[in-house]
Chain A
Amino acid sequence: MRHKIGVALQDVGLDPRQSGREILVLQARLFGLSTAAAATRAEELLELVDLTDAADRRTKTYSGGMKRRLDLASALVHRPDVLFLDEPTTGLDPASRLVVWEEVRRINALGVTVFLTTQYLEEADQLCSRLAIIDSGRIVR
C-alpha cells in the first residue's frame, strides 16, 4: 500500500540539516531505489518542482513555498498512483500558493490522482475535478 500512495501533511516535515537533494535521495532510497536510481529520481523531481538551483542548499534556508514544493516532491519519489495533500497551501503567501497550485496541476497531468483537502473554496474551485464538502467528519455535499 505504501508504494501506491504519497502523502504531504499540513505541516511540512523536513530535516533542516539536509539539502533538498539529500532529502529526496534519502526518501527514494528508503522506498528501495538504488543509489544511482535515487539520484536520478531526485534530479527529475527537483526539476519538476523547480528547485534545481536550490537543490544543494540546506532546507533551513528555504522559504515556506520552497519547503512546500520540496515536501510535494518527496511525496512523489516512488511514483505513487494517489497523492494525498493535506491543506497544501495553508500558511503560504499568495505568490507561493499560486506556485503550489501549478505544481499540483503538473503532478496531476502526469497521471497521479490527487486527493486534496483544503479550507479555501477558491483553491478547491481551481484544482478539483470532483469535490466533497466535509462537516464534522461527514461528507455533507
Chain B
Amino acid sequence: MNALKVIGGRGLREAWRTPDALLPTLLIPLFFLVVNVGQAARIFPTDTTPFLRGQNYGAFQLPATILLAASFGTAALYLVEEIENRYFDKIRATPVSRTSIALGRLISEPIKIAAMTVVIIVVALPFGVRLASGIVGVLLLVLQAAGWATGYAAFLQFVALKTRSSAATNSAGLVFFPLLFLTPNFVPRDLLTDVMEVAATLNPVTYVTEAMRSLILEPLNWSAIAPGFIVVAAFVGVMPAINVRVMSKYD
C-alpha cells in the first residue's frame, strides 16, 4: 500500500510537471466538441429536436468530449518511456511487489481525468450546457470518466508491457477512435442505420456514452446510467488485473 502511494504520487507529480503532455489531452477533445457542434448544431435545433430535451447540441456531444479526454492514457506512455530508458528496471530491482508497480502508475490517471472532466464541464457551462441530473449527476459523470480513464490507461499499459515499444503503445491509443465512431455519437441509437445500430449495440463504449448523455440531458435515470457503470466497472476490474498478470511474468 505504501509503495502504491509512493509510485502513485510520483505519477501525479509527473503529470503536473508536463503540462505540454497534459494540455493536448484537454484541448483536442474541446476542439472536436467545437467542430462537431459547428457542423451539426443547425441540423439539430433545440426547439425541434426531441432527443436534446431542451438543451443545445453541445450538451449531446459533451460525453464524446469527456470520453476522448479520458482515453489518452498518458500514464502508459510514461511507462513505456521508462521501459525504453531502463528506469523501469531500476524500479523492478526494488523489493516492491509487482502488483504495486503495475497499479501504482494507474493511480494518477483517475485523479487527472476527474480534474479534467470538471474543467470540460465548466468550459461547457457558458455555452448553455446544463447537467439535468444535478450535483449527483456531476459526481457520477466525473466518477465514470475517471473509471474509464483507469481502464483505458491499463489497456495501454498492457500494450506497453507486452511490446515495450512507444510506437506500438502510441498506435494502440488510436483504437479508441473507431470505438467512439461506432457509438451513437451524433444521433441517438434508434436513429442510426440498421448496420450501425447493431455495431453500436455491440460496442461497450455505447453504454458509457449513453450513461453520460443521460446524466447531462435528463434527471437521474438509473436504467440508462447503470449499463454505463457496469461497462466501466468491468473494464476497471479486468484491465488492471491483466496488467498485474503481465507484470508478474515480465522479465
Q: Does A124 contact B (CB under 8 A)?
A: no
Residues of A within 8 A of B39 (CB): none
Q: What's the tally of chain A residues with a CB closer than 8 Å to chain B?
A: 21
Q: What's the tally of chain B residues with a CB closer than 8 Å to chain A?
A: 21
Known: A29-B2, A30-B3. Contact between A15 and B95, CB under 8 A?
no
Known: A26-B10, A29-B2. Contact between A11 and B86, CB under 8 A?
yes
| Docked complex Cα distance between A29 and B5 (Å) | 10
| Docked complex Cα distance between A13 and B88 (Å) | 8
A11 partner, pick from B6, B18, B85, beta carbons under 8 A: B85
Q: State how many angstroms separate the Cβ of A82 from the closest Cβ of chain B.
A: 13
Residues of B within 8 A of A7 (CB): 93
Mask: chain B, 92-125; 1 = CB below 8 Å from A; 0 = not: 0111100000000000000000000000000000
B 40-83 contacts with A by CB, 8 A = 82
| Docked complex Cα distance between A27 and B96 (Å) | 10
In the bound complex, do residue B95 and residue A32 qualify as a contact, i.e. CB atoms below 8 Å apart?
yes
Residues of A within 8 A of B93 (CB): 2, 7
In the bound complex, do residue B89 and residue A13 qualify as a contact, i.e. CB atoms below 8 Å apart?
yes
- Chain B's closest residue to A25 (CB) is B6
- Chain B's closest residue to A30 (CB) is B94
In the bound complex, do residue A27 and residue B94 qualify as a contact, i.e. CB atoms below 8 Å apart?
yes
| Docked complex Cα distance between A131 and B55 (Å) | 79
In the bound complex, do residue A17 and residue B18 qualify as a contact, i.e. CB atoms below 8 Å apart?
yes
| Docked complex Cα distance between A14 and B84 (Å) | 11
A 13-41 contacts with B by CB, 8 A = 13-18, 22, 26-27, 29-32
A3 partner, pick from B2, B10, B86, B95, beta carbons under 8 A: B95
Residues of A within 8 A of B95 (CB): 2-3, 30-32
- Chain A's closest residue to B96 (CB) is A30
| Docked complex Cα distance between A120 and B244 (Å) | 41
Main secondary structure of the interface of A (DSSP, over half): loop
| Docked complex Cα distance between A12 and B86 (Å) | 7
In the bound complex, do residue B94 and residue A17 qualify as a contact, i.e. CB atoms below 8 Å apart?
no
In the bound complex, do residue A31 and residue B94 qualify as a contact, i.e. CB atoms below 8 Å apart?
yes
B86 partner, pick from A2, A13, A58, beta carbons under 8 A: A13
| Docked complex Cα distance between A74 and B89 (Å) | 13
Mask: chain B, 213-248; 1 = CB below 8 Å from A; 0 = not: 000000000000000000000000000000000000
B6 partner, pick from A14, A15, A16, A29, beta carbons under 8 A: A29
Residues of B within 8 A of A29 (CB): 2-3, 6
| Docked complex Cα distance between A63 and B149 (Å) | 36
Q: Does B90 contact A (CB under 8 A)?
A: yes
Q: Does A9 contact B (CB under 8 A)?
A: yes
| Docked complex Cα distance between A30 and B13 (Å) | 17
For the complex with contacts A17-B18, A30-B91, A31-B95, 14 further pairs of A-B residues with Cβ separation under 8 Å are: A9-B89, A11-B85, A11-B86, A12-B86, A15-B10, A15-B14, A15-B82, A18-B10, A22-B10, A29-B2, A29-B3, A29-B6, A30-B3, A58-B17
15 A–B contacts from the bound complex (CB under 8 Å): A2-B93, A2-B95, A9-B86, A11-B85, A13-B90, A14-B85, A15-B87, A17-B13, A17-B17, A17-B18, A18-B10, A18-B14, A26-B6, A31-B94, A74-B90
